[in-house]
Amino acid sequence: MNKVIIIGATSGIGRELAKMYAAKNWLVGVTGRRRELLDSLQQDFPDNIITECFDVTSGENIECLKHLTQLLGGLDLLIYNSGYGEPSETLNWEIDKNTTQTNVNGFVEMVNFAFNYFVLERKGHIAATSSIAGIRGNSFAPAYSASKAYMSIYMEGLYIKAARLKLPIYLTDIQPGFVKTKMAKGNGQFWVSSVEKAALEIYTAIKNKKRIVYITKRWWLIAKLMHCLPMFIYKRIG
């Protein structure tokens, strides 16, 4: 039986992915801060879901991840879906600190552990949910866009490292646009995907071992446009 750990599975895309993998007879380790939501997920799939309740900013990430891996009896795929982001128009330090602790510190600690685990196992797959927002800086939420850029660059670095090691360790950078979750904030949202559609496209991309996937696929166009926009234009909209 294949084994996956999903970091941040109490709601939204992470929860939908957990249900999807469990329905396909994977053994699924799920994490999150809210015990009651993890328990309800396990009740729906008692034979396929194992829970570990912790906060990625608490400093207990590695021990909890080791414990959950032991309970699963191994690990084939890690999905880092935990994330934090709030508007910080006045550059609020608490918002920026919480964003960095979740999207950078928690992310890099757990993905670093997973990559080294897979090096020992000689195979594995890591997927992480960054964002289209990480392509350019954003005055609306500077720490959020910067943290998502960090995630994408780190994943690219690990992709190159795995290639240099000549190991079948796959890296998938998931870059959503707007998905109908609590993380989607602000006015002027467009091309908003349902959680179900987003999870299905993510599942398919991971299955096909894609390096980068835009959710939904049409956001590829926005990504290319954002890369190309000169600063004198981008600063009016960013």
- Give a three-class secondary structure readout of the chain: CCEEEEECCCCHHHHHHHHHHHHCCCEEEEEECCHHHHHHHHHHCCCCEEEEECCCCCCCHHHHHHHHHHHHCCCCEEEECCCCCCCCCCCCHHHHHHHHHHHHHHHHHHHHHHHHHHHHHCCEEEEEECCHHHHCCCCCCHHHHHHHHHHHHHHHHHHHHHHHHCCCEEEEEEEECCECCCCCCCCCCCCCECHHHHHHHHHHHHHCCCCEEEECCCHHHHHHHHHHCCHHHHCCCC
- Average pLDDT for 165-187: 80
Which fold would CATH assign to domain 3-234?
Rossmann fold (3.40.50)
**Residue 91 pLDDT:** 93
Q: What does the alpha-carbon distance between residue 1 and residue 73 come to, in Å, rounded to a whole number? A: 10
pLDDT at 185 over 80: no
pLDDT at 111 over 60: yes
Q: Which amino acid belongs to residue 136? A: R
pLDDT of residue 188 exceeding 60 = no
Radius of gyration of the chain (CA): 17
| Spatial separation of the C-alpha atoms in residues 82 and 5, rounded to whole Å | 12
Question: In Å, what is the CA distance from 212 to each residue of 95, 128, 171, 176?
Answer: 28, 10, 8, 10
- What pLDDT does 234 receive? 73
| Residue 103 near residue 150 (C-beta atoms within 8 A) | yes
Q: Identify the band that residue 182 occupies on the pLDDT scale cut at 50, 70 and 90.
A: low
Average pLDDT of span 117-124: 98
Q: What is the mean pLDDT of residues 150-166?
A: 98
Sequence spans of domains, the chain: 3-234
Token reading at 86? 């709030």
Model pLDDT for residues 65-81, shown as the tens digit of each residue: 999 999 999 999 999 99
Provide mean pLDDT across the span 68-95.
Answer: 93
Which tokens in the block code for residue 152? 């994408």
Percent of all residues in the chain with a pLDDT value above 70, rounded to a whole number: 95
> What does the buried/exposed string (b/e) look like for 133-143 if buried means 16 or more CB atoms within 10 Å of the residue's CB?
bbbbebeebbb
